[in-house]
Amino acid sequence: MKNKFSWKEDIMITTWLIFEMAGTIAFAFSGAAVGLYKRMDIFGITVLSVMTAVGGGMIRDVLCGITPPSVLRSPEGLIVSIVTALVVGFGYPLFRIPKSGKWVITILYHLSDTIGLAAFTVTGALTAFYRYPGYDIVLPVMLGLITAVGGGIIRDMMARRMPVVLYMDVYAIASIAGGLLLCALREPLGTPLASWISFAFVLLLRFLAIHYHWQLYHPHRRFRRIQRD
């Protein structure tokens, strides 16, 4: 019985590590992209990249009572985010993209930001399952959301932008929906499979929202329409 529990625990930890590293690289790239857009130097790009990649996870760990945060005890994520920032920062001049091709950068930014959102939604929920197994819905969903959007909020505030979570398409809602789906599928399908399905679901929902320009209700937009009429 003990071996069986250990086997399941190892799979859960491996799943967490896969999504944690994927989210770290993706968010590090998105942070570096914003730094390039804001014309920061290599230090500014690196800081923005690191804070985007590990900020949400650090908030998650503090809320879970994991101190020091895991990124400071096992700095692989910190190192990966720094390397990603340096590669993007020093590599950008070598691949100059004309103004007519700026859409490529936009696509790469949305792709990396969406992958980070989906991956960290999963890692946040998995952390809740592992640390507090008695909480099945609210805690996993909220930790998934905080992990997914925390780094992006720090990134946007440091870059003096309105955080995208407050206005962009279906962003936080995609994370919440993915967390709920993971909670619902965890028991019948098992944590690893449920995690991958949740990850894919968040990706799909975000890509559909971007492609079809899905927006949540905007009171000011409705008010302007009434004024025009």
Q: How many CA atoms lie within 13 A of 199 on its CB side?
A: 21
Q: Average pLDDT for residues 176-205, to the nearest whole number?
A: 96
pLDDT at 100: 60
pLDDT at 103: 76
- Given a cut of 60, whether residue 228 has pLDDT beyond it is no
Roughly what angle, to the nearest 10 degrees, separates helices 191-212 and 2-37? 20
- Given a cut of 80, whether residue 225 has pLDDT beyond it is no
Q: Closest Cα partner for 186 from 141, 155, 120, 149?
A: 141
pLDDT at 11: 80
Of 228 and 195, the one with more pLDDT: 195
CA distance 25 to 120: 11
pTM of the predicted protein model:
0.89
Given the structure tokens 């559909």, which residue do they identify?
208
4 pLDDT band (50/70/90 cuts)? very low
- Given a cut of 60, whether residue 1 has pLDDT beyond it is no
Question: What counts of helices (H) and strands (E) characterise the chain?
Answer: 9, 0
Please tell me which of 9-18, 58-67, 177-186 the model is most confident about, judged by mean pLDDT.
177-186
Please state, as a whole number, how many other Cβ atoms lie within 10 Å of the Cβ of residue 206.
26
Q: What is the mean pLDDT of the chain?
A: 89
Decide if 119 contacts 23 (C-beta within 8 A): yes
- Could you give the percent of the chain with pLDDT greater than 70? 89
Of 55 and 100, the one with more pLDDT: 55
Question: Which alpha helices (DSSP H) does 101-190 contain, by range?
Answer: 102-131, 138-158, 172-189
pLDDT at 134: 87
- Given a cut of 50, whether residue 212 has pLDDT beyond it is yes
Instruction: Fill in the DSSP letter of residue 190.
Output: -
Question: Comparing 4-18, 66-80, 173-187, which segment has the lowest mean pLDDT?
Answer: 4-18
Q: Closest Cα partner for 129 from 12, 19, 22?
A: 12
Q: Closest Cα partner for 151 from 57, 64, 35?
A: 57
Q: Closest Cα partner for 83 from 115, 116, 45?
A: 45
- Given a cut of 60, whether residue 2 has pLDDT beyond it is no
pLDDT in tens, 28-82: 999 999 999 899 999 999 999 999 999 999 999 999 989 899 999 999 999 999 9
CA distance 208 to 215: 11
Q: Average pLDDT for residues 19-34, to the nearest whole number?
A: 95
pLDDT at 95: 76
